[in-house]
Structure 1
Amino acid sequence: MADTAFSPALLHPRHWPTWAGVGCVWLLSWLPIPLQAMLGAVLGRGIGRLLRGRREVVRTNLRIAFPQAAEREIERMTSAHFADMGRGVFETALAWFAPDWRLRRRGEVTGIAHLKAAMADGSGVLLLTGHFTTLELGARFLCLAGVRFHAMYRPYNNAVMDYLMHRWRENRSGLPALPRDDVRSLVRALRGGRPIWYAPDQALKENVSVYAPFFGVPVRTVSATARLAQMGRAKVVPYFPERRGNRYHVRILPALEGFPQGDEVLDATRINGVIEQGIAFAPTQYFWVHKRYKGLPPGVPPVYGRQRR
């Protein structure tokens, strides 16, 4: 476990710009939530028009995921996605700074019974989700619903952000945050009957990946989900956040039956299918700016840098 105690070194002048930025985010979090939504959508659409290369990445991903959609619909979804990304900036500020009383009436969590059923025999749980624009706020609503879990974290190069991200996640989730590469601590937590927040839909390292279909296209996919579940004697319980206007819904699904199967490709394919199911609830709120189809099998032509129709 990393030492997350506050250090006077974090007040060194070289960190002042970071503290100033955090202070600005704190101030923004106190704007009326409908105003935040409007400003975020405007910000996101503006960025989407400026970042033409990243906009084409979004288009390409959407064309792969929704091959039956007309080009006009793809363009509409692309613009909506950037608006959702912009709103996600303000939603992250809310997740970090808003007091409980300000958020409680803004969202609901359904399906908690599925999580309780999975843990009734003392099993640990991988709370499986994907990278959505509402990711941080969705996790906060889980906390508000009384779900205590270990949050995974990636160490930051910026010392202030590393300290703050760790503390924010730990203070909100109720259990210590765990480094995502510390397999021993993750397995120990699962065997101890505790939930761990887990989003395996972006890492593309070859040594922990297999090729499995994602929206019908074989792509490098994390295979560690099955290994963690097996090593930790844990169950996999999917959950997905969704923005509905200026309200939020977090949907917890039943634990996966018969998982893992013992075949890396079959298990990774099933996890991708679960993520696809979550995307279907809120298609434009998924993190489509990520180059998910960068890790294609050898010999397959790249999809980015050219249009795919």
Structure 2
Amino acid sequence: MKKKYRKLPRNTDYSAYRHPRWWPTWVLIAVMWCVAQFPIRFQWWMGKVVGLLAHRIAGSRRRITETNIRLCFPELPAEQQAALVRNAFIANGIGILELGIAWFRDPSKLMGITDIHGLEHFEHALSQGKGVLLLGGHYSTLDLGGSLVTQVIRADVMQRDHNNPLMNAVMTRARGRRYGTVLGAKDLRGLFRSLKSNHAVWYATDQDYGRKDIVFAPFFGIPTGTITATSRIAERSGCQIVPFSHFRREGKPGYDIYFHPALENFPSGDDLQDATAINSKIEQEIRRAPDQYLWMHRRFKTRPDPEDPGFYQRK
């Protein structure tokens, strides 16, 4: 998929996607739109089916998830680890269907079943006048949680482009309706402009980006490659770092969004100390609902010593 679309331009004008090569993607988008119109309960049920199907057939992603769960929750017996893996697929299956809600429905309609916790922490940080980095994570409610957040605050977002240019156009246009500005993942100039204007910017550090500009900070007790860019951004801009998270409720449909006090003494001048503080906060939030995290990602791919055996090598 990446090779197929690598040289195609990132164009958000739908008229650029009339060629028959895009028809399968248009069909998928139409299905997403239709499903998004169903009641939440029905979508959660369909998401569970999607998740269980993926758990059965997506062998590679299941092995990655099993490895991550085994590494991060060694205290759990094998049967509980297996249950957590299964529930993670269910949660992320629901999250896939929630993309349609985030992109094609009015998120204000869901505010009646959404509770906001700690908004005063965000407001206090923004009152400092230097902008706010909203330290998020890759939870299964990623896009929907972001859409709900923007119902109570104004925020910009940094995003990595979708590999499929048409899907990227839909995603970017949808996020453009929710967020103030949609910034590219490498648009640091745009990021600093937003912070200088005292905006909030959604920002996530919890993936493996390779060996460049990282330190190995503990994450669930494992030395984990963590980017140092957060410290550089805070140092240069003077912005506040406000951790936040968003989760789907168990049982009846509903969502919870949490804002936390800005990180203290950040940046500290010590990249490892800063990265440890960030990972600790993200870990703390993941433990609220461990199944609602994106465990399918190879978070521990980069090892401290390049000669160390990888965790994800197939036996």
The alignment's TM-score, normalised by the length of structure 2, stands at 0.91
Check if 1:305 corresponds to 2:313.
yes
Amino acid at match of 1:303: F
The DSSP-based 3-state class of the residue aligned with 1:144 is coil
Amino acid at match of 2:271: E
Residue 188 (structure 1) aligned to one of 190, 193, 196: 193
Cα distance, 1:249 vs structure 2 = 0.3
* Residue pair 1:151, 1:170 contacting (<8 A) in 2 also: no
Residue 153 (structure 1) aligned to one of 159, 167, 184: 159
Query: After the TM superposition, which residues 37-48 of structure 1 pair with which residues of structure 2 at under 5 Å, given as runs?
Result: 37-48=44-55
Distance 1:194 1:251, change over 3 A: same
Give distance in 2, aligned partners of 1:154 and 1:5: 14
Give distance in 2, aligned partners of 1:142 and 1:30: 21
Partner of 1:259: 266
* Residue pair 1:191, 1:233 contacting (<8 A) in 2 also: no
The DSSP-based 3-state class of the residue aligned with 2:206 is coil
Q: Deviations over 1:66-85 (max 9, x none)?
A: 12111111011111111111
Partner of 1:165: 171
Amino acid at match of 2:194: A
Unpaired runs of at least 5, structure 1: none
* Residue pair 1:108, 1:141 contacting (<8 A) in 2 also: no
Partner of 1:106: 113
Amino acid at match of 2:210: K
Q: CA RMSD in A?
A: 1.8
Distance 1:51 1:10, change over 3 A: closer
Partner of 2:289: 282
Q: Deviations over 1:257-308 (max 9, x none)?
A: 111111111111111111101101111101001111111111322212368x
Cα distance, 1:87 vs structure 2 = 0.7
Residue 182 (structure 2) aligned to one of 177, 184, 192: 177
Q: Deviations over 1:203-225 (max 9, x none)?
A: 42322322111111112111111
Cα distance, 1:101 vs structure 2 = 4.7
Partner of 1:19: 26
The alignment's TM-score, normalised by the length of structure 1, stands at 0.93
Partner of 2:3: none
Q: Deviations over 1:237-272 (max 9, x none)?
A: 000111113211011111111111111111111111
Distance 1:280 1:5, change over 3 A: closer
Partner of 2:243: 238
Give distance in 2, aligned partners of 1:157 and 1:131: 18
Give distance in 1, aligned partners of 2:76 and 2:312: 19
Give distance in 1, aligned partners of 2:14 and 2:99: 25
Q: What is the number of equivalent residue pairs in this alignment?
A: 304
Cα distance, 1:157 vs structure 2 = 4.3
Give distance in 1, aligned partners of 2:10 and 2:311: 42
Check if 1:197 corresponds to 2:205.
no
Cα distance, 1:158 vs structure 2 = 3.0
Amino acid at match of 1:60: T
The DSSP-based 3-state class of the residue aligned with 2:300 is helix
Distance 1:204 1:100, change over 3 A: closer
Distance 1:7 1:141, change over 3 A: closer
Distance 1:290 1:7, change over 3 A: closer
Instruction: Using the aligned pairs only, state the percent identity.
Output: 37
* Residue pair 1:84, 1:285 contacting (<8 A) in 2 also: yes
Q: Deviations over 1:141-169 (max 9, x none)?
A: 11122x11111122344332232222111
* Residue pair 1:188, 1:232 contacting (<8 A) in 2 also: no
Q: Deviations over 1:160-217 (max 9, x none)?
A: 22322221111112x1111110111111211221110001111423223221111111
Give distance in 1, aligned partners of 2:128 and 2:234: 15
